[in-house]
Amino acid sequence: MRVTLIISSLGAGGAERMMSSMANYWAEHAREVTLITLASRTDDFYSLHHGVHRIALGLTGTSSHVASAAWNNIRRLRRLRQEIKASQPDVVLSFVDQANVLTLVGSLGLRIPVVVSERIDPRYHDIGSIWAWLRRLLYPQADALVVQTNGLRGWAERIVKSHAVHVIPNAVPGSVVRHHNGLDLKPTGRTIVAMGRFALQKGFDILLKAFARCARKHSDWSLVILGDGEERGRLEALVVELGIKDRVNMPGSVKDPFGILCGADLFILSSRYEGFPNALMEAMALGRAVISTDCPSGPREIIRDGIDGVLVRPGEVDSLVAAMDRLMADQVARQRLGKRAIEVVERFSTEKVMKMWDELFLSVSSGRIIADSLTQQAEDRQTEMRL
């Protein structure tokens, strides 16, 4: 089967990491894989298997006015359509709202099955009124709409027919279970680790406020936040304001964070909303005790509250402080949670999740394969008659 994957870029992010992992898996299993990004290769953060045919259109960027935006999108659509046709896929898979819309427009009339996937909670993630309207207009044209949690099925079924909605979670990367040395960022004492894009969605401001309240009581603990983004300046100012500058380290984005996660005594996800948080699952796969906000959507479908992690009310500093204080003081509880947390490796194994994708692709492409076979048979009969 030939698979063409489409995403805006391969920059640092959960959707980008997952698409890279999926492309590598299929290439390793002898699939013909083409991966197209709207951005250029200079934005690439993740590495690809040598068997993945990589196409970077280099057509992202901001537009100065409406006419410019319209023209830029026309250029993107022309190039995207050309590359989709050239890759001759049995199925096309697109990740993330705007790329999904462009993929559906670019593939109109090509008779190629298209699967689109939302990678964050669309009920909370604002993409603008025009893109939201286009999404609602075009998603019914997709052969399947994939969401990552059962909590989003209802949203999806209000846009497309229920039989076209599929729930497929993220997989635990195979590399997460290998030994990693990581970076030497852990100071003497205990360490809390958090990870994600520096955006309001991730709630790192809530985490910093909670840590500041716990820091005086737990004087040997420090906090490491991996990632980067538009909120860095505001978060750095907040660290100074809270008087915890000597206890917080924000080293930036790390391509291979597993060594640092292995050194964590506690992992915290403080998000206001999510899709299906890779970082939380990876920390659990490494046997870390975790605390997560019970935010929409994802954490509740990963954490079994009180068994392999702790869920707290989203957006509430007090709730997070209470959970942090309890686990920072109780090593036995941390070890108990971490021992069960590692079960996510089996619950969300690469083999299980990729089988779900393979079954979906086979389902949506079977109609085209049958139609193409019938067309070929008809052409063969016509040839025989002419002879």
**pLDDT tens by residue, 111-132:** 999 999 999 999 999 999 999 9
- Distance between alpha carbon 237 and the CA centroid of its chain, in Å? 28
C-alpha span between 17 and 26 (Å, rounded): 14
Query: What is the predicted pLDDT for the residue at 189?
Result: 66
Residue 168 token pair: 């497929």
Q: One fold for both 2-171+349-380 and 175-346?
A: yes
What CATH code is assigned to 2-171+349-380?
3.40.50.2000
pLDDT at 385: 37
pLDDT, tens digit (0-9, with 9 covering 90-100), for 19-38: 999 999 999 998 999 999 99
CA 358 – CA 26 distance, rounded (Å) = 10
Is residue 142 pLDDT above 50, yes or no? Answer: yes
> Six-digit token pair at 338?
């971490």
- Give pLDDT, residue 62: 59
Question: What does the alpha-carbon distance between residue 310 and residue 320 come to, in Å, rounded to a whole number?
Answer: 10
State what percent of residues in the chain have pLDDT above 90.
77
* Residue of 291, 284, 252 whose CA lies nearest to 269: 291
Please name the residue that has the structure tokens 């009180």. Answer: 306
Per-residue tokens: 50: 């040598």
Burial of residue 229, with CB atoms counted within 10 A of its CB: 0-12 exposed, 13-18 middle, 19 or more buried: middle
Give the closest residue to 80 by CA, choosing from 51, 97, 101, 49. Answer: 101
Decide if pLDDT at 181 tops 90. no
DSSP helix/strand/coil, 381: helix
Structure pTM?
0.84
- Topology adopted by domain 175-346: Rossmann fold (3.40.50)
User: 3-state DSSP call for residue 286?
Assistant: coil
Distance CA 86, CA 312 (A): 49
Mode of pairing for the β-strands spanning 266-269 and 248-252: unpaired
pLDDT at 75 over 60: yes
Write the pLDDT tens digit of every residue in 201-246.
999 999 999 999 999 999 999 999 999 999 999 999 999 999 999 9
Give residue 257's pLDDT. Answer: 85
Q: What ranges do the domains of the chain cover?
A: 2-171+349-380, 175-346
- The one-letter code for the residue type at 52 is V
